[in-house]
Amino acid sequence: MRLATWNINSIRARTERAVSFLERSGVDVLALQETKCKDEQFPREPFEALGYQVATVGHSQWNGVAIVSRVGIEDVEVGFPGMPTWGDPAVAEARALGATCGGVRVWSLYVPNGREVDDPHYVYKLEWLARLRDATEGWLAADPASPFALVGDWNIAPLDTDVWDPAWFAGRTHVTPAERDAFTALARAGLTEVSREHLPAEHTYTYWDYQQLRFPRNQGMRIDLTYASPALAARVTGATIVRDERKGKAPSDHVPVVLDIGDPPTS
């Protein structure tokens, strides 16, 4: 199986790019984030014409996640157990979608940004990640042999080498000790950030801001990450960051991260 994650930054604006990527890449399952549309607005037809099924959750022009699969979509779940709410009135945002695709449980995640360190959204972000860790621990306790992946835009750069200039980011979100600890808590729970094992450690970015020529200058961040359960991590044979998707006409500010997953072991 080939599994990819991509913050598409509006699926309606970039349907052709997403479809073209699937046609070229051989990806079986594509987890999308920041789709920015309601469920009924998602452009399903071009994907279905290629033989993919689509599951989505989107409530407005903000947030939104989806899973596109040509190896089946079963047991679709909107939001993970205990996922925090946000806003007034408080609602569960469209930030997490799970489905079983080709025997692998895939979660497409769009972690809250946090905005500023002194903003309530930062507290919400940390709580969201803590509840995700709790859910992960529950899944592993219930079935230690379960193959599942948590993929998406984490809005966290776990290491200093994941940003173009650590000094520039000092005091900002995405790099604070609390955010990084919340991210590594998933590793302590038993998951492996598998793309890290197959890609260069430095200057391997997945996001470049549209402003100030960040992409031509390679002033990026590595915030699109791929956690796998022990059973799935053992099957990952490679990872690729598709940097060329940041080029061309009207790209997303993120690029896809692709995992190659081997067949499960035979008993």
Mean pLDDT, contiguous 10-residue spans, the chain (267 residues): 98 98 98 98 98 97 96 98 95 97 98 97 98 98 97 97 95 97 98 91 90 95 98 97 96 98 87
Q: What pLDDT is recorded for position 267?
A: 66
Sheet holding 74-78, edge to edge: 74-78, 96-101, 104-110, 148-153, 224-228, 192-193
Q: What pLDDT is recorded for position 231?
A: 98
Virtual CA dihedral for 254, 258, 259, 260, nearest 10 degrees? 180
Task: Label the pairing between strands 148-153 and 104-110.
Answer: parallel
What lies within 8 Å, CB to CB, of 255 at 6+ separation is 6, 206, 207, 224, 241, 242, 243, 244, 245, 246
Contact 95, 110 (CB under 8 A): yes
pTM of the model: 0.97
Q: What pLDDT is recorded for position 203?
A: 76
Q: What pLDDT is recorded for position 258?
A: 98
